[in-house]
Structure 1
Amino acid sequence: MRPEHCVTRNHIEVWRERALPSGPERIRFGTVLRGSLLPILVWAGIGFFVYFTYNPLVATILGGLFAVSFIVGFGLRRRAKHSVRCSVYGALGGVLDKSMAGF
């Protein structure tokens, strides 16, 4: 895959694509985070809720689930010959996108 085509909207889906430019072009990490603000807030809110309501161990398990999902997504993208940058952006966007599928 050519490096200039790796970090595009075709390879990185941000939740509801609100923050993405209209065509294929390079995007920055801040754009990925801005487009994923709602899923980030939901993950953080659930983490704080279970930390204070149940136990810090439950919040740690939730964080571990997020980390495992990110690592699997990163590994799959690297295996598909994406760059490290594209793999990080895609894994983060993918985890946040798929975790909000029911909303």
Structure 2
Amino acid sequence: MTNERCMTRTHIELWNERVLPDGLVPVSFGTVLRGSLLPIAVWLGVAAFVYFIYNPIVAALEGGLFLAFLLLGLTLRRRSGHSAKCSLYGATGGVLDKSMAGF
């Protein structure tokens, strides 16, 4: 897969699709993050809450969980033939998207 084909709406699913341009166009990593502001806020809010209420170790465990899911997504995308850049974009957007599935 080429980078141009991989960096499209069909390969990077964003939780908040309103930030994507119309059609299949390349998107930047900033667009991926801007489309995921709510999931990022939730992850950071939960981490801050458990840091101050429970223990910093619990917040580190949450960060480790996020990192584990991100690395799993990167590995699966690289094995399926995506480029490193596409894998990073897709894994980041995917983890943030799937973490908000219950909301």
TM-score, structure 2 normalization = 0.97
Aligned pairs (5 A) from 1:36-47: 36-47=36-47
> Could you tell me how far apart the structure 2 residues matched to 1:30 and 1:93 are?
11
Instruction: Count residues with an aligned counterpart.
Output: 103
* 1:39 maps to amino acid: P
What runs of 5+ residues in structure 1 fail to find an aligned partner?
A: none
**Partner-residue secondary structure (3-state), 1:15:** coil
1:90 equivalent in structure 2: 90
Aligned-residue offset at 1:97: 0.2
Aligned pairs (5 A) from 1:68-87: 68-87=68-87
TM-score, structure 1 normalization = 0.97
Aligned-residue offset at 1:21: 1.0
What runs of 5+ residues in structure 2 fail to find an aligned partner?
A: none
* 2:36 maps to amino acid: S
Aligned-residue offset at 1:17: 1.0
* 2:49 maps to amino acid: F
**Partner-residue secondary structure (3-state), 1:96:** helix
> Could you tell me how far apart the structure 1 residues matched to 2:94 and 2:2 are?
21
